[in-house]
Structure 1
């Protein structure tokens, strides 16, 4: 890997590049799908290649190839330079990079058990057993269980003298049960530990074992069946308590995406739009939320899905305040966007493959824990709704107006959980919603939620992002059908 990268850097410099970086990557992923008691598929794929990114005459150029040969390294370097020269003919202000000392080192995801070393039949049997536990519940019509794990080996080198090798693993799994009413054909689904894919982290197979999928199977099957006969969630202004995973998704959509500086500056609007958090709001006075709301972007959280040693520009992983006691205080930045607001990159650039341009992506954007116990939070709520696990979402292209639906909700009455509700939704406007947050559970109930398929760009790139959160309470939230509150 190193020899190929150094050859490409030298060639690009000879062709006229003022800056060069090269990423050589190999990614292997294996997935297992089980549905209704049968193995639907087992996949195993490996993709490898390299890319060259250059600056010539103040403009970027990028080219990539799957042929990892010396002659190809020189050809791709020349192609990247030619693209940059062409781009410079129509470019605006020249690219400026924030300062970065040469980086040297290596990083490997800490783990106890490499998921690839666990026998395939053992992993398949775990999913079949979890599926059988869901199938044991009368009224459950559709069951599914999945597992996916990957290894990414990559080498980064730059003309500034950086040389970095990383080996990153991510591991995840999930189960879901769907109940169907035979008369009305209504369907209700419960998921564990999360919906829409799987819960994942930068850890080993021990992460899946800790999920205890088999022992949760019957529970989520029973909840899916109960939802069929549950009443609709009532509408109106309510006090809402969101569970950890739902709070984390709220962070992802209404904070994580709008703090991506390329989106703020209008450089990137593909797939999820622009941002309401414009640069004039980075003045130390813009109120994003209440005083209890503290948000950070931290690529060093152990086991979280957005954790690494260095980003794909060679910037070290770090922790950045985003909201401090409710006041907006920071963005996710790259080396070429940070100087535009007088700052330096905080290491938030990644690419989903060797043939894709790196771009600003979320690391672990998290809501810092408060000091409440969940039981005390429920007991302190006289009248409200507890909502758990995402079912649907809609948010405008500035990440301002939103609506979320959840799989399951409970009435809170006189400090106790009561009636089960189905089809619960809530709506809001981001700063008003976070401004209504008056309580967050403490570190013991703070967990890291990981989504492996966050989309951005055109063509869309997916990325593995993490979000730490604990259950949180919000006052005067519009629940059910209603106007934006």
Structure 2
């Protein structure tokens, strides 16, 4: 494999602790070149070279991924542009089975001789690996699709929007925050375009065009009397959309809550203005009294709890102990699934995996094994009913086909099981955010994600947020601070007593979810409506223990 070049965004400032070092791999590229695609016919010719070379060396199965990965990051602070990064990473990864074992090699030299050499190396590696086999690889059957394509259904390609327009947006956000009373603000726009071509000996030639966008900022306010400071991060969600995500429409506005809310859109300027007011409120907010509270959790917060307590533990490689990096294994062992009655949560809890969800970070037409993506249940009426599995895992849980959740973050990385979009389904009864708050006598309404910790089996955890509002007798009674809640996964999801309806359903997600060794990142969304959880233990994070 070619060693990746990691470029780190620098000079973002102390206010951007949320982004301590964002990996950007690839070589610098002129912005104009970001819009020049590679000819599909050429990619097919190159893929066939690899398929034929691997077969001639003894591979019984081969898949080829030709990837062109484009990144654009625009970084600002107050009135200055700090960095504009444009990169391209382009090459081919070749995965084979030979003598019943996996082998993988990659190259960024896309001439016929170099591709043939990489294919031969992959086969050689597989044969060496086979010396350690106790059981040969068993792939779930997969039909070939012939020549097909899939494009993210975006309305406006963000890479086509002039840099000046993007810079003007970020600087206007910064200006509004500073005029509103912020002491510091940094704002960033992340853009990703994955142009991926997959071919395999199953007979598939799949061309895909995937887009992601993430606008984000951090506002900081200093208390002049105490020199202490508070921050508020943006409440945006990274999303699998085009630039239209930053163009909210009146019909997308959601009523209720304490922040400007839009369904599938985001008003960065309006959010920044709200952030300044709220960060000032945080400075003088009352510190929470520890105890049991009913929690009303906004989707901008709940997505991370779903990610850590449901998404990761339902990954089959973690369940089997094959994977333990970046988060450990899983308490959702096979015996719990086999019992068909393991009580994961209350009967209101229905959680699905979905690689087809429009606008989500994980939405693709086909995964990196050439499997057409789908939607399936993980938790049904509170009961564990399934996991997330790929082609060489499917037989372990009695599946006849992969669930289509295999992914590699670059052409130079080997694909493996990654999290699908994992989402809590909306409530079936008509309920708004305000309805959920009205039903609470003593509680806390939490917005935005913050720091968290969770144990190595994804069971015992603690989560914080961005904004906390005290609920007293069904009404918002003011802002709180120093809040975190503690629970275990099963106890927490069984405490779910109400979920708002579909009109409040929104996506959150992670742009850089880490897993594996060597490490890879992926982007994944988690949807939900606002939900209520009764009798959850809340601690004060500012108070010392003992």
- TM-score range, shorter-chain basis? over 0.9
Partners in 2 of 1:232 and 1:361 — Cα distance? Answer: 39
Give the corresponding residue for 1:201: 239
Q: Secondary structure at the match of 2:71?
A: strand
TM-score with structure 1 setting the length: 0.96
Q: Secondary structure at the match of 1:418?
A: strand
Give the corresponding residue for 2:514: 455
Q: 1:315 aligns with which of 354, 358, 371?
A: 371
Partners in 1 of 2:344 and 2:295 — Cα distance? Answer: 19
Partners in 2 of 1:95 and 1:481 — Cα distance? Answer: 50
Superposed displacement of residue 179, structure 1? 1.3
Give the corresponding residue for 1:412: 471
Q: 2:397 aligns with which of 336, 341, 350?
A: 341
Partners in 2 of 1:459 and 1:182 — Cα distance? Answer: 46
Give the corresponding residue for 1:466: 525
Q: Secondary structure at the match of 2:180?
A: coil
Superposed displacement of residue 181, structure 1? 2.1
Instruction: Tell me, yes or no, if structure 1 residue 23 matches structure 2 residue 65.
Output: yes
Distance 1:17 1:132, change over 3 A: same
Q: Which moved more, 1:211-220 or 1:373-382?
A: 211-220
1:40-439 correspondence runs (5 A): 40-104=82-146, 105-138=148-181, 140-194=182-236, 199-210=237-248, 211-283=266-338, 284-343=340-399, 344-370=401-427, 371=429, 372-439=431-498
Q: Which runs of 4+ in 1 moved over 6 A?
A: none
Partners in 1 of 2:63 and 2:518 — Cα distance? Answer: 22
Superposed displacement of residue 481, structure 1? 4.5
Unpaired runs of at least 5, structure 1: none
Partners in 2 of 1:369 and 1:341 — Cα distance? Answer: 28
Q: Deviations over 1:227-255 (max 9, x none)?
A: 01111122111111111121111110100
Partners in 2 of 1:300 and 1:243 — Cα distance? Answer: 23
Superposed displacement of residue 137, structure 1? 2.3
Superposed displacement of residue 185, structure 1? 3.2
* Aligned-residue RMSD, C-alpha: 1.2
Instruction: Tell me, yes or no, if structure 1 residue 10 matches structure 2 residue 52.
Output: yes
Q: Secondary structure at the match of 1:188?
A: strand
Partners in 2 of 1:330 and 1:387 — Cα distance? Answer: 30
Q: Are the counterparts in 2 of residues 306 and 364 from structure 1 also a CA contact under 8 Å? A: yes
Partners in 1 of 2:309 and 2:227 — Cα distance? Answer: 34
TM-score with structure 2 setting the length: 0.86
Q: Secondary structure at the match of 1:480?
A: strand
Q: Which moved more, 1:171-180 or 1:287-296?
A: 171-180
Q: Deviations over 1:294-320 (max 9, x none)?
A: 000011111111100000001111001
Superposed displacement of residue 68, structure 1? 1.0
Partners in 1 of 2:290 and 2:231 — Cα distance? Answer: 21
Superposed displacement of residue 35, structure 1? 1.1
Q: Deviations over 1:86-136 (max 9, x none)?
A: 111012211100111112311001111111111110110000000111111
**How many residue pairs were aligned?**
477
Give the corresponding residue for 2:29: none
Q: Secondary structure at the match of 2:287?
A: coil
Q: Are the counterparts in 2 of residues 299 and 308 from structure 1 also a CA contact under 8 Å? A: yes
